[in-house]
Structure 1
Amino acid sequence: MARQLSPVGLEFIDTAPVRLVFARQLSAPPAAVYRGLAEDVTGWPAWFRAVTLCRPTAGGAGREVRLVGGGRFQETILATDPVERYAYRVDTANAPGLRALAEEWLLTPAGNGTRVQWSFAADGTAVLRALLKAARPGLGRSFQDAASRLDKRIAANSTRS
């Protein structure tokens, strides 16, 4: 059953009780990475294995996301700073114990590519907070795999253009 979460803003990403931050260097330029994150929303399942469905809602102001294992989220986009940042919060979720969740993708030019930093910020029951902290290594591997697959997808699409 989906439950309403706290309507947090961008500041929550820096102040959340659970903050998991991961980074990776991609060979793709920031503009291409931004397009893959923010503009090709329906393409997420092709590169982020945990995502089975991602589609824009509310005329692009939100997203519906479904995850492997049955997770379902309705999100509001918080920031779309082209070539720099893409952030969103979860408004409703079927995850027990979750009170608030926001994510941010920061893009920084680095050499001939992009440094991508993903921040996962959450609040919930004590049990959920402990589980999320324990899940850090798995979330990190999931991010590393997703970032690598996004980079390869961008490269493949640029050779077709």
Structure 2
Amino acid sequence: MARPLRPVGTEFLEHAPLRLVFAREVSASPAAVFRALAEDVPGWAEWFSAVTLARPLGDGGRREIRLRGGTRFEETVLVAKEAEVYAYRVDATNAPGLRALVEEWRLTPADTGTLLRWTFAADAPAPVRLVLRLARGGMGRTFRGAVAALERRLAAG
């Protein structure tokens, strides 16, 4: 059963008890990357290997995400600024221990395309934060794999 998390805004990205940041450059334009993130929500399951289902809810300001292993998220989009930033808050999840979670995908033009930076900001009890810190390496590998798959998907058109 999904349980509600504390509703937080984008300011949480700056002061969350746990912040993990990952970055990678892709050859696609910021506009193309933004469209893949914000407008092609079902496409996430095609390039982000941890995602088994992604679908917009209602008018598209909310999303349902399911991950391998059975974790589910109900999310609200906080910011969708064309070719610059896409951020969302988790409103409810079946993941144990989380109190608040915001993720931000920031897109910065680069010489060869786009620098894509993903920030994972969470509040949870100390043992859960420790587990998440220990999972940083795996999350980084998953991020790099997802971004590489996204780049291939965008290059293929």
Which residue is 2:6 aligned to? Answer: 6
Find the residue that maps to 1:7 and give its secondary structure: coil
Provide the C-alpha distance between the structure 1 equivalents of 2:110 and 2:55, rounded to a whole number of angstroms. 30
Q: State the partner residue of 2:156.
A: 156
d(CA) in 2 for partners of 1:86, 1:127: 29
Partner of 1:51: 51
Q: CA RMSD in A?
A: 0.6
The one-letter code sitting in structure 2 at the alignment partner of 1:44 is W
Query: Could you tell me which residue of structure 2 aligns to residue 85 of structure 1?
Result: 85
AA aligned to 1:34 is F
* 2:127 aligned with 1:100: no
Structure 1 length as normaliser, TM-score? 0.96
Amino acid at match of 1:140: G
CA distance in 2 between counterparts of 1:11 and 1:146 reads 26
**Mapped pair 1:125 → 2:125:** yes
The aligned residue for residue 109 of structure 1 is 109
Task: Give the aligned partner of residue 37 of structure 1.
Answer: 37
Residue 68 of structure 2 is matched in structure 1 by 68
Q: Give the Cα–Cα distance (whole angstroms) in 2 for the partners of residues 107 and 52 of structure 1.
A: 24
Q: Distance in 2 between matches of 1:139 and 1:87?
A: 18
* Counterpart amino acid of residue 116 in structure 1: L
Q: SS where residue 10 of structure 1 aligns?
A: coil
Q: Distance in 2 between matches of 1:97 and 1:107?
A: 30
Question: How far did residue 61 of structure 1 move?
Answer: 0.6
Shift in Å, 1:94 = 0.2
Q: Deviations over 1:72-91 (max 9, x none)?
A: 01000000000000000000
CA distance in 2, matches of 1:18, 1:147: 22
Mapped partners of 1:29, 1:96: distance in 2: 37
* Structure 1 segments of 4+ aligned residues over 6 angstroms from their partners: none
Question: In 2, Cα distance between the equivalents of 1:19 and 1:113?
Answer: 26
SS in structure 2 opposite 1:33?
A: helix
Shift of 1:120: 0.3
Across the two proteins, how many residue pairs are aligned to each other? 157
**1:4 partner amino acid:** P
Structure 2 unmatched ranges of 5 or more: none
2:59 is paired with a residue of what secondary structure? helix
**TM-score under structure 2 normalisation?**
0.99
Q: What is the Cα deviation at residue 14 of structure 1?
A: 1.2
- Does residue 145 of structure 2 align to residue 145 of structure 1? yes
